[in-house]
Chains A and B, each alone.
Chain A
């Protein structure tokens, strides 16, 4: 089935309030996608997997993207069918302040880790997930790094996260055109000395 057929079938099943906004991939977006109402995502996923004509048995990829301009977080599901060799891309637009969406772990087990990663890096809460813990970052990490406004803390348990820029530490001054080469050299040495001092402090 073409993505348009899949979209029509889903829309026929759930109505245009749940599945809508089909983009056929002719413009900038290269893969056809459609939007899904977040709280019905599990029903849509179940139908995609269980319907014999759709038979989408492979959840390829779960991606979260932060769009602070639109005040939303998009969760994108790439779903593929091994048997029918077709694909559909589902997008759910969540509120950035309170990103909650039902989990798909009951439909595809592959969603388990991918959703955990999405929670870890973007803070999307997957409602009903059996084990929603941080996956890649330590449990006591603060913030969600893939958000656009994320700012890294200066240190983590006393380990600095920022190193001094080595280029700024060692400034090499070139001799002037007038031939003040000695001065320049002296400056360079002084800089190197301060640099070692700074390093020792660090």
Chain B
């Protein structure tokens, strides 16, 4: 897994290869680390092991037919890539989405946000060395997987959203199941906080490690939880007011440096815990409000032929931040160009400039706290 190469017997600098099959790299990622003992001089990420040319595939699929591929952009939070692609096509073709479908999108996305954050939190704790929180977090994720499976039939690559709406309405009794889950989830988060977030060892391990300032975060294009942990109160759900988010009441948690400096690894961990609570709030409201809109009104009117000309750029707030989709149509059945701008991709860019001076073990904490998912980097 790792091998050590001494460049020069007299020099203390050595080159350490980490990955691509390293358990802490969240997929297939490789780092070439130049280190002086335990201290990193430079860590160069080597990505692309999971490159599947999803953008090129998009040029050969019809607009509807591309939807299952978007699941694979980010398989931990597939719902957002679905939503992103659907909204990009809707913007390009001026399609209206019924309110009920928008609510279903918000509900499915927020469920997915919680489950994605659960993987991020559990895996990060495990990377640091705390094994117990991982199964605790995955237990909650398991409930959500069951719920989403009832909704759309899939547990990982959902393919639930459609251009113009969603594929299925809620099954009977599903709403009560979600409420029942949320009743257990909120106390579970309190428990999780007691177990790991406020654990003294954990706090000491992560406070003041790999601090990213607000300026740096903006400059390097960090988005989503990573940006907010650096103290920038910016959330697309509030600022862009897309979908039905303006009708819902929720807060944006921002990194405050409660145990160290704003923008350290612990802030990024804590912020995701808070976001799960906000998602739970959103879910309760959305489930209450969805019945103001008629049942089974889940698909908008689609043009008979989907052959748009023009271009559109759309972004949604995914679990890993601002996910953008840029689509160009030139009158054909297939899009002329598809581009996905993902949060993990830009987050990886900051690893190299942030790494000098870190301990090798802290690099693991940095990667885990950025919550990168390898297929989202490589696409």
Spell out A's residues near B (CB within 8 Å). Answer: 27-31, 57-61, 63, 65, 76, 78, 82, 85, 89, 108-110, 112-114, 117, 121, 134-138, 145-146
Contacts and interface: CB of A to CB of B under 8 A. Distances in A.
7 contacts: A28-B329, A57-B218, A61-B313, A65-B328, A110-B221, A110-B346, A110-B349
Give 3 closest A-B pairs by Cβ, nearest first.
A28-B310, A110-B221, A136-B48
A78 B325 CA distance: 11
Interface in B336-359: 336-337, 339, 341, 345-346, 348-350, 353
Interface string B37-70: 0000000000110010101100000000000000
A114 B341 CA distance: 9
B124 to A, nearest CB: 23
B19 interface: no
A57 B322 CA distance: 15
Interface residues of B, number: 39
A113 B348 contact: yes
Contacts of A112: 349
Interface of B: 47-48, 51, 53, 55-56, 91-92, 218-221, 232, 234, 239, 308-313, 315, 322, 324, 326, 328-329, 336-337, 339, 341, 345-346, 348-350, 353, 378-379
Given A60-B324, A78-B324, 19 more contacts: A28-B329, A31-B311, A58-B221, A60-B315, A61-B313, A61-B326, A61-B339, A63-B339, A76-B326, A82-B234, A85-B239, A108-B219, A109-B349, A109-B350, A110-B346, A114-B346, A137-B51, A145-B56, A146-B55
A89 B91 CA distance: 16
A30 B337 contact: no
Nearest to B92: A30
B310 A27 contact: yes
B353 A109 contact: yes
A28 B378 CA distance: 30
Given A110-B349, A112-B349, A63 B326 contact: yes
B210 to A, nearest CB: 16
Contacts of B379: 136
B310 A30 contact: yes
